[in-house]
Amino acid sequence: MLSTVLCIALAGLACAACSKEAVPSGPPDGAALFREQNCIQCHGVDGSGTSLGPTLRGKQPFWTREKIAAYLADPQSVIKGDARLEAQAAKYMLPMIKFAGLTLEQRLALADHVLALP
């Protein structure tokens, strides 16, 4: 009886361990984060923009990866005082949300993805 209970308990632990997500190895994947963070909702699957958010294509002349990472952490503070960004933000009903829950490394990976868009 005790051995049966022990086997069931061990099997339960094994199943629980198998159901957990694997710990990612290596740097974050910016394209995957783009989907996981639901950026596609406002910026489109390919970053070409929607009625909710501007295109993210062709941003290389205006942005660095560090500036995008800072923007993702607190968009409103970056927008404030930047006439180009204020004009762009005024075209959309919803403000850009903060991604303060992402690590700097994740925000940089997202920035790399955006900067790689043609």
Query: Which pLDDT value is given to residue 5?
Result: 36
Distance CA 33, CA 99 (A): 11
Residue reference for tokens 């049966």: 4
Query: Which pLDDT value is given to residue 69?
Result: 97
Q: How is the chain split into domains, by residue range?
A: 28-116
Query: Which pLDDT value is given to residue 17?
Result: 42
Q: What is the pLDDT of residues 68-93, one digit of tens each?
A: 999 999 999 999 989 999 999 999 99
Query: Which pLDDT value is given to residue 56?
Result: 97
Complete DSSP assignment for 64-91: -HHHHHHHHH-HHHHHTT-HHHHHHHHT
Query: Which pLDDT value is given to residue 25?
Result: 72
* Ranges under pLDDT 50 in the chain: 2-22
Q: Give CA angle at 71 (40, 55), nearest 5°.
A: 35
Homologous superfamily of the 28-116 domain (CATH): Cytochrome c-like domain (1.10.760.10)
For residue 49, the 8-state DSSP code is -
pTM of the model: 0.76
